[in-house]
């Protein structure tokens, strides 16, 4: 499908992101899909810096900076205030990093999902606390360097399975996406915008600074995450099951994804082989169908 994407911009040039930042590119296109009738609720994260502090801002929709743990609680309040005013047309989007989602904001997210609060929660996951100095989060993958895991995160600590946690709440929409696959990304934002109830999108967003990448390689490496199966593009179907929305022609070896990033340089071949097996094991529980427009390639064994 070809998208007729608006030329309007709601995240403007002159913002504070590093070159090649996947978070800022994702936010730019998310806002294009949601439109000007959007209120953004933003806890502490890289985007707090990217959009600029008062009185300057790079975003031209209303945006609330809120405390770290409270994005889902504050978004619930904004939605209820809008309802009290009879304003159904406004999209409320909580936009948070992995630290504010997987770790610090998790209880508020669970509460909002359980209450079926009517807003879209988007986690842009760059897999560490990037804006405070690249510290490990529970979204950091095993083997990845951070400043608090200088030899690489221990392999016995898995990346927290946020998708399964959210799925347990029977939310109205759940999907993963990355701007490296823009049509899939836009289709999911479009669907999420039109639905009501608690909606959750998990985005993989490359961070050249934290992933030890050249800024020009940001999208290429994010694509490799999908092509190797370490970040599958998923969507909840009508039966509340997850299915793939994209299946690669054939899966790339996970080593190609690791070797493209300096943060994985300590991994041995044996450790990479172990992690390849872990990804295949994990994916088996997600994959119930081949999804929209998928080719018939076999899923990872
Ligand atoms: S540190 Fe990473 S996530 Fe933060 S603005 Fe820079 S590239 Fe983006």
Helix axes 22-34, 182-194, angle to 10 degrees: 50
CA of 130 to the centre of ligand 1 (A): 6
CA of 24 to the centre of ligand 1 (A): 8
Q: How far is CA 276 from the centre of its chain?
A: 22
Residue range 68-83, pLDDT digits in tens: 999 999 999 999 999 9
3-state SS class at 278: helix
Q: Is the pLDDT of residue 290 over 90?
A: no
- The answer, yes or no, to whether any atom of ligand 1 lies below 6 A from the CB of 50, is yes
The answer to whether 23 and 97 have CB atoms below 8 angstroms apart is yes
For the chain, how far is it from start to end, CA to CA, in angstroms? 30
Report which protein residue has its CA nearest ligand 1's atom 3: 207
CA of 288 to the centre of ligand 1 (A): 34
Handedness of CA 194, 224, 9, 3 (dihedral sign): negative
Strand partners, 39: 92
Alpha helices in 21-64 (DSSP H): 22-34, 46-50
Q: Rounded to whole angstroms, what are the CA distances from 45 to 80, 133, 165?
A: 24, 11, 21
- The answer, yes or no, to whether any atom of ligand 1 lies below 6 A from the CB of 207, is yes
The answer to whether 58 and 12 have CB atoms below 8 angstroms apart is yes
- The answer, yes or no, to whether any atom of ligand 1 lies below 6 A from the CB of 128, is no
Helix, strand counts (H, E) of the chain: 11, 8
Looking at residues 128-139, what average pLDDT do you find?
Answer: 97
Residue range 115-133, pLDDT digits in tens: 999 999 999 999 999 999 9
Q: Residue 258: in which H helix or E strand, if any? A: helix 254-259
- The answer, yes or no, to whether any atom of ligand 1 lies below 6 A from the CB of 18, is yes
Rounded CA-CA distance 224/260 in Å is 9
Q: What is the pLDDT of residue 1?
A: 58
Rounded CA-CA distance 297/292 in Å is 13
| Region for residue 251 given its phi and psi (left: phi exceeds 0; alpha: psi -120 to 50; beta: otherwise) | beta
3-state SS class at 24: helix
- The answer, yes or no, to whether any atom of ligand 1 lies below 6 A from the CB of 46, is yes
Report which protein residue has its CA nearest ligand 1's atom 1: 130
DSSP-assigned letter for residue 197: S
Q: How many residues does the chain have?
A: 301
The answer to whether 122 and 40 have CB atoms below 8 angstroms apart is no
Atom of ligand 1 nearest to the CA of 16: 5
**What percentage of the chain carries pLDDT values higher than 90?**
87
Report which protein residue has its CA nearest ligand 1's atom 2: 207
2: confidence class by pLDDT, cuts 50, 70, 90: low
pTM greater than 0.85: yes
Strand partners, 95: 122
- The answer, yes or no, to whether any atom of ligand 1 lies below 6 A from the CB of 130, is yes
Residue range 172-217, pLDDT digits in tens: 999 999 999 999 999 999 999 999 999 999 999 999 999 999 999 9
Alpha helices in 120-236 (DSSP H): 162-167, 182-194, 208-211, 218-227
- The answer, yes or no, to whether any atom of ligand 1 lies below 6 A from the CB of 92, is no
């Amino acid at each position: 499908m070809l998208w007729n994407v608006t030329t309007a911009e709601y995240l403007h040039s002159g913002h504070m992101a590093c070159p090649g930042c996947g978070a800022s590119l994702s936010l730019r296109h998310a806002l294009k899909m949601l439109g000007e009738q959007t209120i953004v609720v933003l806890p502490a994260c890289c985007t707090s810096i990217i959009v600029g502090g008062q009185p300057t801002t790079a975003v031209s929709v209303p945006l609330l900076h809120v405390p770290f743990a409270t994005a889902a609680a504050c978004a619930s309040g904004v939605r209820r205030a809008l309802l009290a005013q009879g304003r159904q047309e406004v999209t409320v989007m909580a936009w948070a990093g992995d630290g504010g989602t997987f770790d610090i904001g998790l209880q508020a997210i669970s509460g909002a999902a359980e209450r079926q609060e009517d807003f879209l929660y988007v986690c842009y996951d760059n897999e560490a606390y990037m804006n405070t100095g690249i510290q490990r989060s529970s979204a950091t993958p095993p083997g990845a360097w951070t400043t608090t895991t200088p030899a690489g995160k221990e392999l016995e600590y898995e990346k927290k399975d946020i998708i399964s946690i959210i799925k347990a709440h029977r939310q109205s929409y759940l999907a993963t996406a990355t701007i490296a696959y823009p049509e899939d990304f836009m289709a999911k934002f479009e669907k999420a915008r039109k639905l009501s109830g608690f909606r959750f999108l998990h985005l993989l967003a490359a961070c050249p600074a934290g992933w030890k990448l050249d800024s020009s390689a940001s999208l290429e490496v994010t694509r490799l995450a999908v092509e190797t199966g370490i970040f599958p593009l998923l969507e909840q179907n009508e039966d509340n099951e997850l299915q793939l929305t994209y299946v690669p022609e054939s899966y790339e070896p996970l080593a190609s994804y690791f070797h493209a990033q300096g943060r994985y340089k300590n991994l041995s071949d044996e450790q990479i082989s172990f992690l390849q097996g872990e990804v295949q094991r994990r994916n088996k529980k997600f994959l119930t169908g081949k999804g929209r427009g998928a080719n018939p390639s076999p899923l990872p064994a």
